Amino acid sequence: MAQVHPTAVVHPDAQLHETVEIGAFSVIGPKVKIGPETRVGPHAVIEGRTTLGARNRVFQFAALGASPQDLKYGGEDTELILGDENQIREFTTMHIGTAGGGGATRIGNRNLFMGNSHVAHDCVVGNGCILGQGSAIAGHVSVEDHVIFSGLTAVHQFTRVGKHAFVAGGSMVVMDVPPYCVAQGDRAELAGLNTVGLERHGFTSEQIGRVKEAYKVLFRSKLGVAEALERLQTELGGHPEVDHLIQFIRQSKRGLTR
């Protein structure tokens, strides 16, 4: 049997793995599924159709699976899905999706959501990301792997943030942030490349060199975006790190942070 504190309120229809721990005064709703070795701290609330994988840690006062803060939401049976080994710190909030956004908010593996951070409806967050204290990502935002948001950052709805990007504290992101880049400021602008992050994740000096060259072509030359992408495809195409950057930019709908 799962270890449930006597003061916790767990609906009999909730599905808890036998190794789950539920802390004092927490509330677990009827459509919740919690996987192996996940620990839920005191005073946490997990409701809605919410699924947590293995070895997650939900700290005190976190609130997962509540209805979206979207006036168009009409009570649809949408869901929140989290992978494995995520840390969800104090007062973090994550909401279920909406029918208009695909019906699900999806969180990957090994992410850290610091205190008072927020993940809105229909967001997709990859693996190994960090949302700093008080950070908030609005509805329909897509965040690729290994992205770091420093404290008090905010991301506008429908924006995408590419993998290995770094967003400085207090930034307001309103357009897509390309992979590997550093963004900062109110209405954030690019401030170079996250080379420290790339090194930490095993990028070779040759790979980093190609990313630097691609950055120069895209953001330091006088070429238009289409012309710059064509040049990158011709000169550096075939290398995965550059190909991903090209694909990300070609799929942009909101436009790029420059």
Backbone angles phi, psi at 151, to 5 degrees: -60, 145
In 145-234 the beta strands, taken as DSSP E runs, fall at 148-149, 154-155, 160-161, 166-167, 172-173, 181-184, 189-193
Q: How far is Cα 73 from Cα 203, in angstroms, rounded to an integer?
A: 42
Coil vs helix vs strand at 39: strand
What is the separation of C-alpha 13 from the centre of its chain, rounded to a whole number of angstroms? 29
**How many other β-carbons are positioned within 10 Å of the β-carbon of residue 192?**
14
The catalytic residues are 121-122, 139
Rounded Cα distance, 207 and 202, in Å? 10
Q: b/e for 232-251, b at 16 or more Cβ within 10 A?
A: beeebeeeebbebbbebbee
Give the separation between CA 34 and CA 53, rounded to whole angstroms. Answer: 6
* Residues whose CB is less than 8 angstroms from the CB of residue 157 and which lie 6 or more positions away in sequence, other chains included: 120, 138, 139, 140, 141
Residue 161 pairs with which residues in a beta bridge?
143, 177
- Yes or no: say if 23 and 9 are a contact pair by the CB < 8 Å rule: no
